[in-house]
Amino acid sequence: MSDYKAPLDEIKFLRNEVLDFPNHYKNLPGFEEATPELENAILEEAAKLAENVIAPLNKVGDQQGCTLKDGVVTTPEGFKEAYQQYVAGGWPSLSAPENWGGQGLPASMETAVSEIFGQANHAWNMYPGLVTGAKATILEHGSDEQQKNYLPKLVNGEWLATMCLTEAHCGSDLGMLKTKAEPQADGSYKISGTKIFISSGDHDLAENIIHIVLARLPDAPAGTKGISLFIVPKFTLDKEGNAGERNAVNCGSLEHKMGIHGNATCVMNFDGATGYLIGPENRGLNCMFTFMNFARIGVTLEGFCHIERAYQGAVAYAKDRLQMRALSGPKNPEGPADPILVHPDVRRMLLTIKSFAEAGRAFIHYETQVADRARYSKDEEERKKADELLSLLTPIGKAFTTEVAIESCSLGMQVFGGHGYIAEWGMEQNFRDARITAIYEGTTGIQALDLIGRKVLKTGGELLKAFTVEVLDFCDTCDTDLNEFTQVIKDRIKGWEEITGYIGGKAMENVEEVGASSVDYLMYSGYLCYAYFWLRMMKVANDKIKSGDNSDFNQSKMNTGRFYFQRIMPRCDLHISCIKS
């Protein structure tokens, strides 16, 4: 696991050949210069930093964790220096607007970079990772002055950020939030309350931390309609806009948790801290959704990153570890035993992981392409459609990818046998770190309710319909030699429509039915989405093979895709059975 290699060939194949990013960027106003050459150069630089600097800190972070002493949080050895290199390399500003000092590249290109940093070190990447959502929130909802105050230093990486939602008594149910905000004569607010589970809540990487905090104004309505959003910097700004006086926001304690030890998960105490309202009063939750949607896509990426690491670790071990002979006779007769890769059950585990890793990559890059269109397209109708599609994909990607990430990381450990349970090999850390992704930023159960309730039933199935039309249209572009696979997709789309109708009907009789079926519905949706992305990858590989490029790479795509359709897709039936029972 220490030998992380950025999967550049996979990323290039997917972005250049499957999802046609070159053409996507050509049609995206302002991003015409985002050529594959530029992207490749960027990804190669990212790979160097990730492989040489950030990945080696992954185990260090797990073993040392963060410490809190005399109110000061210290990150593991090397984390700060790695962050300094990251800033020096200009990575924080990649996709930020040029008027705030950014490089003005498309956000989807940042996703490709984040894949690499996220695979290298989940816990470390969470520190810069949260800034994307904070910047977007300030850009979208902040006043001119707030943008001027905070964006330049968030963009250049001098400062970092957090999102402060959860309190001890409320996680999924933010309506119960208690943190108070009292207006002051100067237009600022005094923020008082305690937030828990704050990722990157305090640390020594940056000179200031900008907390984006949900709190309640005096006499605000009860529930979610009485929540406002505030900017609370760790250091309030001096006249020059630099970090000035220490604000009354402190890390009360660090959580002891299963994984991501290198990230400081803090209990944050706001003791009358100075804060600034961002967006309209009592509309804080809506503003925070800008941040949360970024965070959910970010967690989808994190989940996928762990699948890739599970695969890299397990396949290397399976080629190396000699144990027993193949059932059909020795495959390595010179050696004392065969590599365990020859054992069919080991191959089953590896192919399961690989099939999720590659479809997971396709999902996240596709999603970020849709997000580009939603944000940057010149055509309003296209922006709207893309935004709707993104809102459908977000809960599926978040919950499904993280659930199959957990499965993949567990299988990755299993391939190692007893060695998988030992810290030395990194597979158990990979599992522990991955496990949070199905919990934070909305559990699988919460995502499933969002999908079936808000995104499907509430829209009368319109969003779903639009996506299935796209998928079916794509099936029609495939050659008949892929019929075996397009047929599976067509059947599953019919099944998707049926169970949607079934749940919709049941919901009228008994709304609890929606809740009982929601996770099965989400998982069905996820398997189908991944099948769509497998078909897209297989179409490219199949065309190349037919035109004579019979490389291992292309053959592997066909084999893994076939495995996915044959061995993984039958899981859809199980989810239908559960929904109907």
Least distance to a second copy, CB of residue 23, Å = 36
Q: Does 333 help bind a second copy (rule: CB under 8 A)?
A: no
Name the segment binding a second copy (CB under 8 A); options: 209-217, 304-312, 326-334, 480-488.
326-334
Looking up tokens 């999902």, which residue turns up? 363
Tell me which H or E stretch contains 150: helix 144-155
Task: Assess whether 302 carries a catalytic annotation.
Answer: no
| 226-234, 273-281, 460-468, 510-518 -> range binding a second copy (CB under 8 A) | 510-518
Contacts of 489 (CB under 8 A, 6+ apart): 471, 472, 475, 528, 531, 532, 535
If the CB atoms of residues 171 and 461 are measured against a second copy, the closer one turns out to be: 171
Closer residue to a second copy (CB): 170 or 545: 170
> Per this entry, what is the length of the chain?
581
The one segment of 49-57, 430-438, 458-466, 475-483 that binds a second copy by CB under 8 A: 430-438
Judged by CB under 8 A, the stretch of 151-159, 428-436, 485-493, 496-504 that binds a second copy is 428-436
Contact flag: residue 515 with a second copy (CB under 8 A): yes
Tally Cβ neighbours within 10 Å of residue 270: 26
The two three-digit tokens of residue 282, written as one number: 């009592």
Applying CB under 8 A, among 64, 156, 269, 323 the residue interacting with a second copy is: 323
Stretch that binds a second copy, among 115-123, 212-220, 296-304, 504-512 (CB under 8 A): 504-512
Nearer to a second copy, 289 or 553 (CB): 289
| β-pair partners for 72 | 69
560 lines the binding site for a second copy (CB under 8 A): no
* 570 touching a second copy, by CB under 8 A: yes
Applying CB under 8 A, which of residues 94, 288, 436, 541 lies at the interface with a second copy?
Answer: 436
Sign, CA torsion 429/433/434/438: positive
197 backbone dihedrals φ, ψ, rounded to 5°: 60, 35
Exactly one of 167, 302, 358, 441 is catalytic; which is it?
441
| Footprint (CB under 8 A) of a second copy, residues 437-456 | 438-440, 443-445, 448-449
CB of 381 to a second copy, least distance (A): 34
Q: How far is the CB of 561 from a second copy (least distance, A)?
A: 14
Question: Which has the closest alpha carbon to 364: 321, 417, 314, 402?
Answer: 402
Two structure tokens written together for 297: 């896509």
Within 13 Å and on the Cβ side, how many CA atoms surround 301? 28
Give me the DSSP letters along 451-496: IIIIIIITTTTHHHHHHHHHHHHHHHTS-GGGHHHHHHHHHHHHHH
Per the CB < 8 A criterion, the answer to whether 80 and 157 are in contact is no
> Of these, 170, 248, 316, 457, which contacts a second copy (CB under 8 A)?
170
Q: How many angstroms separate the CA atoms of 76 and 98, rounded? A: 33
148 touching a second copy, by CB under 8 A: no
CB of 328 to a second copy, least distance (A): 5
Cβ pair 214, 228 in contact under 8 A:
yes
d(Cα 551, Cα 557) in Å, to the nearest integer? 10
Which long-range CB contacts under 8 A does 35-43 form with residues at least 24 apart? 36/12, 39/15, 39/109, 39/112, 40/8, 40/12, 42/94, 42/105, 42/109, 42/112, 42/113, 43/6, 43/8, 43/11, 43/12, 43/112, 43/113, 43/116
Decide if residue 271 touches a second copy (CB under 8 A).
no
| Part of the chain binding a second copy (CB under 8 A), chosen from 84-92, 309-317, 469-477, 508-516 | 508-516
Q: Are 361 and 304 in contact (CB under 8 A)?
A: yes
33 touching a second copy, by CB under 8 A? no
CA atoms of 309 and 304, how far apart (whole Å): 9
Judged by CB, which is closer to a second copy: 277, or 427? Answer: 427
Question: Does position 337 bind a second copy by CB under 8 A?
Answer: yes
Give the total of residues touching a second copy (CB under 8 A).
Answer: 70
**Cβ-based nearer residue to a second copy, 359 or 449:** 449
Q: Is 320 a residue that touches a second copy (CB under 8 A)?
A: no
Residue of 9, 20, 238, 345 interacting with a second copy (CB under 8 A): 345
Does 347 engage in binding with a second copy (CB under 8 A)?
yes
Per rule CB under 8 A, is residue 316 in the interface with a second copy? no
Residues 74-103 that bind a second copy (CB under 8 A): none
d(CA 521, CA 35): 39
Please tell me whether residue 257 binds a second copy under the rule CB under 8 A.
yes
Q: Smallest distance from the beta carbon of 366 to a second copy, in angstroms?
A: 27
Interface with a second copy (CB under 8 A):
166, 169-173, 176, 196-197, 255-259, 322-324, 326-328, 336-337, 343-348, 406, 410, 413-414, 417-418, 420-424, 428, 431-432, 435-436, 438-440, 443-445, 448-449, 510-516, 518-519, 566-567, 570-571, 573-574, 577-578, 581
Catalytic residues: 441
